[in-house]
């Protein structure tokens, strides 16, 4: 008589969980190390070359005054890179979770178009100029566009993610038509707008950072709160309700958090593309589908990607500078392609 033994050994599930936890810890440590290197590189590299020793001397107060001025001038753009990268990456993660659309990004809600239209209108009709002035016009424009898209997408019987996406596409098209009409008829407005619309970390000071920080903090805190609900929402509304989640509340909270984060980043540094689309894919491939983990790791990976892209833009055309919004596409595209190929292989 043959005795059949179970293929699953006692403690196998616990071992798997411990392995998964250890993997996430390793990935987190690696991500923090890359982020630290990106921060150091951001204060080291620019139109003038400074060494790591120069940076250390600046921190210790022993640097030459000129070198200290050069290094310290890079602090605001580094801080903005950290904040904007976090906002865009977490917003993209939330958007993909709420819409269940792997191609969703912060621009899906018309936030970029809203901020752009607000800046163009303020520059053309109110004479607004400068980074701080455009910030205070971009922020309400982005928020109003996000709320308007959410209201239109939620109108009528029930709630449809398809309707939400269509509302964002329609509003973006209308606002972009307005932007083109104004900028083509007013060359001075176009000259001001074309610099902002590409997306850049330079030319801004700490006033911009402190102005958008409260919005970013509230958005990130709300995103962390709704992340567990997004795990349930991924199973469908009926299953989420059976698990005790409230789909409408989770979806609304996630959209509002993504709107706040996207508006803060867009107002501060312009509509930088690709970070909110690529980072969630990379994070998901590394740490799995738990949105609690995805939000936390996106907050590390997003700033690292944006700062490294900014460093590349400063170095590749030295002494000129390539806007970070242009570089992110080249830096993020290979990472996204790798993630898509990995997902395809897993699915097969």
pLDDT at 100: 81
- How far apart CA 212 and CA 261 sit, in angstroms, is 9
Instruction: Classify residue 14: in a domain, yes or no.
Output: no
Most confidently modeled range among 31-45, 135-149, 162-176, 197-211: 31-45
Can you give the pLDDT at residue 222? Answer: 95
Is 293 part of any domain?
Answer: yes
Residue 46 has a pLDDT of 82
The whole-angstrom separation of Cα 79 and Cα 63 is 21
Which among 147, 130, 138, 148 is positioned nearest to 179, based on CA atoms? 138
Residue 273 lies in a domain: yes
Query: 98-107: per-residue pLDDT in tens?
Result: 888 777 787 7
Q: Do 189 and 120 contact (CB within 8 A), yes or no?
A: yes
State the total domains in the chain: 1
Q: Please state, rounded to an integer, the average pLDDT across all residues of the chain.
A: 83
Higher pLDDT, 40 or 106: 40
Q: Residue 13: inside a domain, yes or no?
A: no
Tally of CB atoms within 10 A around 208: 22
Using the predicted structure, report yes or no on whether residue 1 has a pLDDT greater than 60.
no
Q: How much of the chain, in percent, has pLDDT values that exceed 70? A: 87
> 194 is written with which tokens?
């074309």
Give the model's pLDDT for residue 6: 44
Residue 177 lies in a domain: yes
pLDDT bin (cut points 50, 70, 90) of residue 81 is: very high
pTM recorded for the entire structure: 0.85
**DSSP per-residue letters across 177-211:** HHHHHHHHH-HHHHHHHHHHHH--SSS--HHHHHH
Please write the tens of the pLDDT for every residue from 307-341: 999 999 988 888 788 888 888 877 666 766 765 67
Query: What average pLDDT does this structure show over 109-133?
Result: 82
pLDDT at position 160 = 63
User: Among positive and negative, which fits the CA dihedral 15, 16, 18, 19?
Assistant: positive
Name the strand (E) or helix (H) holding 346. helix 324-347
Q: What pLDDT, on a 0 to 100 scale, did the predictor assign at position 38?
A: 95
In a domain, residue 221? The reply is: yes
Q: Is the pLDDT of residue 344 over 60?
A: no
> Which one-letter DSSP state was computed for residue 3?
P
Mean pLDDT computed over 263-290: 88
Whether the pLDDT of residue 8 is over 50: the answer is no
Cα–Cα distance, 313 to 309 (Å, whole number): 6
pLDDT band at 239, cuts 50/70/90? Answer: confident
* Interval 25-29 mean pLDDT: 90
Q: Are 119 and 138 in contact (CB under 8 A)?
A: yes
Statement: residue 47 has pLDDT above 90: no
- 276 and 106 Cβ atoms separated by less than 8 Å: yes
Q: How many residues does the chain have?
A: 348
Please indicate whether residue 198 or residue 229 has the higher confidence score (pLDDT): 229
Domain-embedded: residue 2 = no
Flag whether 11 is in a domain. no
- Domain containing 162 equals 31-45+60-347
| Average pLDDT value for residue range 43-64 | 82
Q: What is the pLDDT of residues 133-188, one digit of tens each?
A: 677 888 888 888 888 887 887 765 555 667 877 888 899 999 999 999 998 888 88
- For residue 307, give both structure tokens: 């700062």
CATH number (domain holding residue 246): 1.10.3470.10
- Does the structure show a pLDDT above 70 at 9? no
């Amino acid at each position: 008589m043959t005795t059949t033994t179970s293929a699953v050994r006692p403690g196998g599930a616990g071992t798997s969980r411990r392995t998964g936890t250890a993997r996430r810890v390793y990935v987190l440590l690696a991500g923090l190390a890359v982020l630290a290197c990106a921060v150091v590189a951001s204060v080291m590299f620019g139109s003038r070359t400074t060494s790591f020793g120069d940076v250390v001397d600046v921190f210790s107060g022993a640097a030459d005054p000129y070198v200290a001025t050069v290094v310290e001038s890079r602090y605001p753009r580094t801080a903005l890179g950290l904040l904007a990268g976090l906002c865009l990456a977490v917003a993209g993660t939330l958007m993909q979770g709420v819409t269940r659309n792997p191609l969703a990004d912060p621009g899906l809600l018309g936030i970029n178009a809203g901020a752009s239209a607000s800046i163009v209108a303020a520059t053309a009709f109110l004479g607004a100029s400068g980074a701080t002035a455009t910030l205070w016009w971009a922020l309400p424009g982005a928020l109003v566009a996000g709320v308007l898209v959410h209201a239109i997408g939620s109108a009528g019987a029930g709630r449809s993610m398809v309707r939400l996406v269509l509302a964002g596409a329609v509003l973006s098209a209308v606002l972009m038509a307005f932007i083109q009409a104004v900028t083509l008829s007013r060359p001075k407005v176009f000259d001001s707008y074309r610099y902002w619309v590409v997306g850049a970390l330079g030319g801004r000071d700490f006033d911009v950072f402190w102005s958008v920080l409260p919005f970013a903090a509230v958005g990130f805190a709300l995103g962390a709160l709704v992340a567990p609900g997004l795990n349930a929402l991924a199973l469908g509304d009926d299953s989420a309700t059976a698990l005790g989640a409230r789909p409408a509340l989770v979806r609304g909270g996630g959209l509002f958090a993504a709107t706040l984060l996207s508006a803060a980043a867009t107002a501060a540094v312009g509509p930088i593309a690709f970070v909110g689309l690529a980072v969630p894919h990379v994070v998901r491939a590394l740490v799995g589908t738990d949105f609690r983990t995805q939000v936390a790791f996106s907050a590390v990976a997003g700033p690292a990607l944006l700062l490294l892209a900014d460093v590349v833009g400063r170095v590749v055309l030295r002494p000129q500078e390539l806007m970070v919004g242009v570089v992110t596409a080249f830096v993020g595209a290979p990472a996204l392609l790798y993630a898509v190929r990995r997902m395809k292989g897993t699915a097969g």
